[in-house]
């Protein structure tokens, strides 16, 4: 493996953009795929291709193990996060993405995070603590990861939250609190409430794709 790629520090996959889709707006984007607890770098590859045809995909594996299951940061119990670890891991992930953009040659202005559950939570944490490394985010089943000491300016960010009305892990109020926090920081937000639990539905994947096509800038 190339030394520069090894030095990026995360086990990951990078799939370059597909030049056969030159007319797709998303073929100029890079998608950062962030899996849920127990997932890995392979999990969301097909989701990334589905939502953003032709886009490059960058898919790291979370470095924290909980009973052998990969995650992006430590938690003390379900929904109770180890905030110091979350801050550390958020910065570590942001540094990885910034370095990866140099090694693989992609534009951070066109980086779209797509996160599910624990992956959505670290993406939300990235928006709140290190907003420069993300321009767009699709957050499936996120919760409030932390309240930052200083609210960032998210004026140029486009964020879609996709939530389950009957999610046993993420209470609806938590989703609303996150939405309000992101709005207060100035982000362009959209929310899609699904008549479902923590699992994803085909309908919301289609909605996420439509949303991305409507917000991402043509090159």
Count other Cβ atoms within 10 Å, centred on residue 92.
Answer: 15
Pick the catalytic residue from 117, 125, 135, 162. 117
Number of amino acids touching ligand MLT (CB under 6 A): 9
Q: Of 112 and 144, which CB lies nearer to ligand MLT in the complex structure? A: 144
Report in angstroms how near the CB of residue 65 gets to ligand MLT at its nearest: 13
Contact 31, 56 (CB under 8 A): yes
Buried b (16+ CB within 10 A) or exposed e, 38-69: ebbbebbbebbbebbbbbbbbbbbbbbeeeee
User: Left, alpha or beta for 67 (phi > 0: left; psi -120 to 50: alpha)?
Assistant: left
| C-alpha to C-alpha distance for 110 and 31, rounded to whole angstroms | 8
- DSSP single-letter state for residue 12: E
| Strand 80-81 to 75-77 pairing | antiparallel
Q: Of 78 and 149, which CB lies nearer to ligand MLT in the complex structure? A: 78
125 flagged as catalytic: no
- Give the range of 12-20, 46-54, 74-82, 131-139 binding ligand MLT by CB under 6 A: 74-82
Residues 166-205 that bind ligand MLT (CB under 6 A): 169
167 flagged as catalytic: yes
24 flagged as catalytic: no
- Tell whether residue 125 is a contact of ligand MLT (CB under 6 A): no
- Give the range of 10-18, 71-79, 86-94, 160-168 binding ligand MLT by CB under 6 A: 71-79
Binding residue (CB under 6 A) for ligand MLT from 36, 48, 54, 62:
36
Pinpoint the alpha helices (H) of 7-158: 45-51, 83-104, 118-129
Residues 152-171 that bind ligand MLT (CB under 6 A): 169
Active site residues: 117, 167, 198
The residues binding ligand MLT (CB under 6 A) are: 36-37, 75, 78-79, 117-118, 121, 169
């Amino acid at each position: 493996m190339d030394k520069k790629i090894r030095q990026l520090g995360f086990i990951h996959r990078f799939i370059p953009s597909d030049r056969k889709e030159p007319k797709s707006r998303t073929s100029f984007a890079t998608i950062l795929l962030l899996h849920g607890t127990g997932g890995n770098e392979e999990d969301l590859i097909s989701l990334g291709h589905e939502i953003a045809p032709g886009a490059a995909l960058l898919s790291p594996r979370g470095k924290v193990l909980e009973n052998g299951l990969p995650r992006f940061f430590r938690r003390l119990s379900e929904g109770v996060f180890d905030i110091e670890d979350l801050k550390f891991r958020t910065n570590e992930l942001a540094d990885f993405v910034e370095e990866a953009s140099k090694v693989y040659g992609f534009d951070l202005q066109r980086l779209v995070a797509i996160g599910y559950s624990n992956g959505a939570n670290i993406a939300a944490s990235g928006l709140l603590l290190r907003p420069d490394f993300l321009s767009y985010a699709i957050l499936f089943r996120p919760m409030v990861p932390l309240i930052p000491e200083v609210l960032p300016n998210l004026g140029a960010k486009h964020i879609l939250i996709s939530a389950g009305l009957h999610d046993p892990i993420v209470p609806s109020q938590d989703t609303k609190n996150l939405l309000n926090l992101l709005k207060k920081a100035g982000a362009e937000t959209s929310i899609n409430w699904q008549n479902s639990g923590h699992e994803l539905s085909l309908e919301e994947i289609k909605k996420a794709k439509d949303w991305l096509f409507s917000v991402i800038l043509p090159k």
